[in-house]
């Protein structure tokens, strides 16, 4: 059993999928989000999409970092995480504007003071204001903030995003086919619209990253930060403190800052592509939960995806693998490994897509291709890595 499983989490969410298998799949079963007819007006040319997600256990990292450093601004990043995990999923259905967001914040009031709530809420509005500058309009409708210390140990920051969208401008992944080229967008570095270096960690696999990276002393210091029934052998087994400093090129950055890099949104890039190059896009995959294997869930039939030119995993994933001794197979199933958005397109259109992305300071490259197959299959090849799923 992997360390990930021993900690009570699953990258593939098998039990969740089993529980929801009988639910209606919506109009387009291969779409990245569930899409329904427009029940608000009954117009057959429009659809409704609603998506719920959140920052996950990344908020626990923010809690420890805040307690260790007193830096309350880290909570603004958690607000962005909860929003982007919704926004970038919806981007993968072709939706990039006129969105509505409602937040759900559950806290343990004894441990999470009012100033943290304020930082999360104001951080949300600051992110929406930034997106508006790029023509991505998100209306903040408030939400539910509850003091539920009997339910949550520290704080859970989640949200729901919804939109009404024309059916003719949807990306449903039904057009993915053999012969397609896959353009990958880099999840790390510093985009033109980002203030700081982004490690690329996003908001998936943080239970693994937290316990594998951070020192055992945090277990004694912050027992509220983990499930106390877990075996001691899987709780905070790493070599690092939050404040340990590392060098990335000319940048000095702490372990805590690497783990808490706010999830990068690709909304500015994708708005340009979806508005002006829509016909070039056959499919979109956000490499979130399930990491580089996420695409298998959304392929329209028996196809083989070959990824043989992924970006070299950035430092954060190298540090996690070194600390955890995890095998490559698990790393690519749990983490995005630095390549977080996949655009399926024609070979002739790939350069155009890459150039648009690079104009926003987001590196992009052809990472693979799609071929015919007798079954759904994924092959990942990199120096020293040869995996089949």
Which letter does DSSP use for residue 172 in this model? -
- Say what the pLDDT of residue 90 is: 98
* Confidence band of 77 (pLDDT split at 50, 70, 90): very high
- Please compute the mean of the pLDDT values over residues 62-74 and round it to a whole number: 98
- Please compute the mean of the pLDDT values over residues 320-335 and round it to a whole number: 96
* Region class of 98: left (phi > 0), else alpha (psi between -120 and 50), else beta: left
Beta-strand relationship, 303-307 and 377-382: parallel
Helices 206-213 and 315-324: angle between axes, nearest 10 degrees? 60
CA distance 61 to 64: 5
**Residue 1, pLDDT above cutoff 70:** no
Closest by CA position to 225, among listed 108, 70, 75:
108
Q: Is residue 156 part of a domain?
A: yes
Q: Is residue 278 part of a domain?
A: yes
Q: Is residue 372 part of a domain?
A: yes
Q: Is residue 283 part of a domain?
A: yes
Question: By three-state DSSP, how is residue 274 classified?
Answer: helix
Q: Are 7 and 207 in contact (CB under 8 A)?
A: yes
The answer to pTM > 0.75 is: yes
- Compute how many other C-beta atoms are within 10 angstroms of the C-beta atom of residue 3: 19
Number of domains in the chain: 1
* Confidence band of 338 (pLDDT split at 50, 70, 90): very high
Q: Is residue 185 part of a domain?
A: yes
Listed in sequence order, the residues at least 6 apart from 54 whose beta carbon sits closer than 8 Å to its beta carbon are 81, 82, 85, 104, 156, 157, 158, 159, 203
Question: By three-state DSSP, how is residue 121 classified?
Answer: helix
**Which residue carries 């995806």 as its tokens?**
305
**Residue 22, pLDDT above cutoff 90:** no
Alpha helices in 153-233 (DSSP H): 206-213, 217-221
pLDDT in tens, 177-233: 999 999 999 999 999 999 999 999 999 999 999 999 999 999 999 999 999 999 999
Percent of the chain at pLDDT above 90? Answer: 93
* Confidence band of 40 (pLDDT split at 50, 70, 90): confident
- Say what the pLDDT of residue 149 is: 96
pLDDT in tens, 29-38: 999 999 999 9
- Say what the pLDDT of residue 23 is: 73
Q: Is residue 224 part of a domain?
A: no
Q: Is residue 150 part of a domain?
A: yes
Ranges 1-10, 80-89, 153-162: which has the least confidence: 1-10
**Residue 285, pLDDT above cutoff 90:** yes
pLDDT in tens, 98-140: 999 999 999 999 999 999 999 999 999 999 999 999 999 999 9
User: Domain range for residue 351?
Assistant: 24-196+261-388
CA R_g for the chain = 20
Task: Report the sign of the C-alpha dihedral through residues 252, 253, 255, 261, in that order.
Answer: negative
The enclosing domain of 339 has a CATH number of 3.30.1330.10
Listed in sequence order, the residues at least 6 apart from 194 whose beta carbon sits closer than 8 Å to its beta carbon are 264, 361
- Say what the pLDDT of residue 10 is: 59
CA dist 339 to 187, 279, 287, Å? 6, 23, 7
């Amino acid at each position: 059993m992997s360390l990930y499983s021993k900690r009570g989490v699953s990258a593939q969410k098998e039990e969740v999928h089993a529980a929801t298998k009988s639910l209606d799949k919506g109009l387009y079963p291969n779409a990245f989000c569930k899409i329904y007819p427009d029940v608000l007006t009954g117009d057959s040319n429009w659809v409704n999409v609603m998506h719920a997600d959140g920052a996950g256990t990344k908020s626990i990292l923010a809690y420890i970092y805040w307690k260790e450093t007193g830096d309350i601004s880290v909570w603004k990043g958690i607000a962005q995480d909860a929003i982007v995990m919704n926004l970038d999923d919806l981007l993968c259905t072709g939706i990039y504007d006129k969105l509505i967001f409602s937040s759900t914040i559950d806290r343990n009031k004894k441990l999470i003071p009012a100033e943290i709530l304020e930082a999360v809420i104001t951080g949300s509005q600051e992110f929406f204001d930034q997106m508006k500058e790029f023509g991505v309009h998100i209306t903040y409708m408030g939400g539910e903030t509850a003091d539920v210390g009997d339910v949550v140990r520290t704080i859970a920051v989640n949200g729901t995003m919804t939109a009404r969208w024309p059916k003719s401008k949807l990306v449903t992944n039904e057009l993915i086919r053999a012969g397609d080229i896959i353009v990958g967008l880099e999840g790390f570095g510093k985009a033109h619209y980002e203030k700081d270096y982004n490690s690329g960690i996003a908001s998936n696999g943080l239970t693994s990253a937290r316990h594998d990276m951070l020192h055992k002393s945090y277990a004694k210091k912050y027992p509220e930060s983990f499930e106390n029934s877990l075996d001691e052998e899987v709780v905070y087994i790493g070599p690092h403190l939050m404040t340990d400093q590392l060098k990335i090129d000319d940048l000095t950055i702490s372990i805590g800052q690497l783990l808490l890099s706010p999830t990068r949104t690709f909304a500015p890039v994708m708005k340009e592509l979806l508005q002006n190059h829509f016909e070039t896009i056959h499919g979109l995959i956000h490499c979130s939960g399930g990491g580089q294997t996420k695409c298998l869930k959304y392929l329209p039939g028996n196809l083989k995806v070959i990824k043989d030119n992924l970006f070299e995993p950035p430092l954060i994933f190298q540090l996690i693998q070194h600390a955890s001794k995890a095998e490559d197979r698990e790393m690519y199933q749990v983490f995005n490994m630095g390549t977080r958005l996949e655009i399926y397109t024609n070979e002739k259109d790939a350069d155009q897509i890459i150039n648009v992305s690079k104009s926003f300071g987001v590196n992009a490259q052809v990472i693979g291709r799609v071929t015919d197959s007798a079954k759904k299959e994924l092959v990942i090849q990199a120096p020293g890595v040869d995996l089949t799923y």
